[in-house]
Amino acid sequence: MAKLDNGPARGTRDFPPAAVARREAVISSIAESYASFGYRRVETPALESVERLTGGQGGENEKLIYKILKRGLPEHLPPGTVLSDLTDLALRFDLTVPLTRFFANNHAQLPIPFRSLQIGSVWRAERPGQGRYRQFTQCDIDVLGEPTVLAEAELLEATAAALIALFIEPITVRLNDRRVLSSIALAAGVSGGTTAGYFVTLDKLDKIGWDAVGRELAERGFDARVAASTEELLGYLADSSSEGGMLDRLGDALPDLGVDVLNDLGQTASALERLSREHEGMTFVLDPTVVRGMGYYTGQIFEITHPSSSSSIAGGGRYDDLIGRSLGRDVAACGISIGFERVVDLARIDPPDLGVAVLYEGEPSTDVLAAARAIRKLGKRAALVPRKKATRQQLDSLYSEGYRAFVTFEDGRPATPRSLGPDSS
Amino acid sequence: MAKLDNGPARGTRDFPPAAVARREAVISSIAESYASFGYRRVETPALESVERLTGGQGGENEKLIYKILKRGLPEHLPPGTVLSDLTDLALRFDLTVPLTRFFANNHAQLPIPFRSLQIGSVWRAERPGQGRYRQFTQCDIDVLGEPTVLAEAELLEATAAALIALFIEPITVRLNDRRVLSSIALAAGVSGGTTAGYFVTLDKLDKIGWDAVGRELAERGFDARVAASTEELLGYLADSSSEGGMLDRLGDALPDLGVDVLNDLGQTASALERLSREHEGMTFVLDPTVVRGMGYYTGQIFEITHPSSSSSIAGGGRYDDLIGRSLGRDVAACGISIGFERVVDLARIDPPDLGVAVLYEGEPSTDVLAAARAIRKLGKRAALVPRKKATRQQLDSLYSEGYRAFVTFEDGRPATPRSLGPDSS
pLDDT digits (tens, 9 = 90+) for A145-178: 999 999 999 999 999 999 999 999 999 999 999 9
pLDDT surpassing 50 at residue B2: no
Domains and CATH numbers, chain A: 17-44+94-346 (3.30.930.10), 355-424 (3.40.120)
Contacts 24+ apart (CB under 8 A), A201-209: A202/A230, A202/A289, A202/A291, A203/A289, A203/A291, A203/A293, A205/A234, A205/A289, A206/A289, A207/A310
For residue A41, give every residue at least 6 positions away whose Cβ sits within 8 Å of its Cβ, in sequence order, or none.
A31, A116, A117, A118, A119, B17, B20, B21, B24
List of chain A residues whose C-beta atoms are within 8 Å of the C-beta of residue B147: none
Closest-CA residue to B358 (of B395, B396, B306): B395
pLDDT in tens, B159-183: 999 999 999 999 999 999 999 999 9
Question: What pLDDT is recorded for position B191?
Answer: 84
Span A395-419, average pLDDT: 81
Span B1-6, average pLDDT: 64
pLDDT surpassing 90 at residue B49: yes
Beta-carbon count within 10 A of A105 CB:
18
Of the pLDDT bands very low, low, confident and very high (cuts 50, 70, 90), residue B366 is confident
Residue-averaged pLDDT of chain A: 91
Of the pLDDT bands very low, low, confident and very high (cuts 50, 70, 90), residue A391 is confident
For residue B422, give every residue at least 6 positions away whose Cβ sits within 8 Å of its Cβ, in sequence order, or none.
none
- Distance from the Cα of A187 to chain B's closest Cα (Å) equals 32
List of chain B residues whose C-beta atoms are within 8 Å of the C-beta of residue A55: 1, 4
3-state class (DSSP) for residue A62: helix
> Residues of chain B with pLDDT > 70: what percent?
95
List of chain A residues whose C-beta atoms are within 8 Å of the C-beta of residue B13: 45
Largest CA distance in chain A: 87
Span A78-88, average pLDDT: 93
Question: What pLDDT is recorded for position B225?
Answer: 93
* H/E element, B267: helix B259-278
pLDDT surpassing 80 at residue A55: no
C-alpha to C-alpha distance for B203 and B311, rounded to whole angstroms: 11
SS3 for B291-351 is CCCCCCCCCEEEEEECCCCCCCCEEEEECCCCCHHHHCCCCCEEEEEECHHHHHHHCCCCC
pLDDT surpassing 70 at residue A8: yes
Largest CA distance in chain B: 87
- Distance from the Cα of B173 to chain A's closest Cα (Å) equals 19
B189: left (phi over 0), alpha (psi -120 to 50) or beta: left
Residues 44-103 of B with CB under 8 A from A: 44-49, 51-52, 55-56, 66-69, 71, 73-77, 79-84, 86-87, 89, 91, 101-102
pLDDT surpassing 60 at residue B201: yes
Residue-averaged pLDDT of chain B: 91
3-state class (DSSP) for residue A311: coil
Span A69-92, average pLDDT: 94
Span B12-17, average pLDDT: 97
3-state class (DSSP) for residue A296: coil
For residue A329, give every residue at least 6 positions away whose Cβ sits within 8 Å of its Cβ, in sequence order, or none.
none
Of the pLDDT bands very low, low, confident and very high (cuts 50, 70, 90), residue A264 is very high
pLDDT in tens, B294-342: 678 999 999 999 999 888 999 999 999 888 888 888 999 999 999 999 9
List of chain B residues whose C-beta atoms are within 8 Å of the C-beta of residue A87: 69
pLDDT surpassing 50 at residue A423: no
